[in-house]
Amino acid sequence: MKQTIVDLAAVRKFENMEFLAKQLVEGFITGLHQSPYHGFSVEFSEHRLYNSGESTRHIDWKVFARTDKLFVKRYEEETNLRCHLLLDISPSMYYPVETNGKITFSALCAAAIAVILQKQRDAVGLVTFSDKVEAQTPVKSTSSHVHALMLLLQQLITKPTSGKNTDVATVIHQIAQQIPKRSLVVIFSDMMSRNEDTSGLLAALQHLKHSNHEVLLFHVTDKKTEEQFEFAERPYVFVDIETGREIKLQPSQVRDHYRQAMTQFKQELALKCGQYKIDFVPVDIQDPFEKVLYSYLIKRGKGR
């Protein structure tokens, strides 16, 4: 299957997030038709697999002719998923500054998931946060609601936040208390919180699971620089996007220690998510766009 590497700089300049998300989803679904992943094709959006012994009245024979598989048309009462998209919009998510890379990638992926949810007549809501909840929409399935989400996501990639830190743990605790019904919670964040102790962050994620929600965490980074610390060997002034603190050094002075710390942080996060049955998906903003949608569809399938 052909994979789509998104030009994040071009996405920032493109002024119709909704159109772009729909185009990417259509391309993704078309690719699934041509791949071994037939279970996640457009039939996933509009149909469900036929169960042996049930009535054949609602079998879609056109789909059967195309795929050689039996699918039953899914009706609105069968599609009652509620999905909350949590999007970190703290200043660190606007790195690299040339493309606003992490927030641009995350917003586009969130928009694409919203498109898929709309196709399935499922309800979606959006929460943006930094050190507190910045915006929170209702959870609805109407076209006008999804359109409003798209406009909000479009604004995020062009208007960086300023003067804010990240407090992922506090926000997740707050959201866990507010969501009344069992839902799918999808989080896009670099997980770079002002509190370097991961115990609070992990306790917040566990709170979501204790509330019986399905949780999918996309850990979004620019892997080359943020994990591997691959900078040319020359003097730099590194600036903390969130605090403005500056430090002058050459990459080789700290590279080994930095890589070790980042590896330890990711391993601990992945390990705890595994223990809590939270799907932890590391995402490099240079990864193919489809990686996020595959992970979402797999998680959705588990939650059904």
pLDDT above 70: residue 2:
no
What is the pLDDT, as a whole number, of residue 39? 43
pLDDT over 50 at 38, yes or no = no
Average pLDDT over residues 141-159: 90
**pLDDT at residue 44 is higher than 50:** no
The per-residue pLDDT for 302 is: 61
Q: What is the percent of the chain where pLDDT is above 70?
A: 85
Overall average pLDDT of the 30-38 stretch: 55
Angle at 171 between CA 168 and CA 177, to 5 degrees: 140
What are the structural domains of the chain?
38-73 (no CATH), 80-303 (3.40.50.410)
What is the mean pLDDT of the segment spanning 53-61? 77
Average pLDDT over residues 45-74: 74
Cis bond leading into 96, ω under 30°? yes
Token representation of residue 204: 């917040």
* Per-residue model confidence (pLDDT) at position 47: 63
Average pLDDT, the chain: 83
> Quick one: pLDDT at residue 110?
96
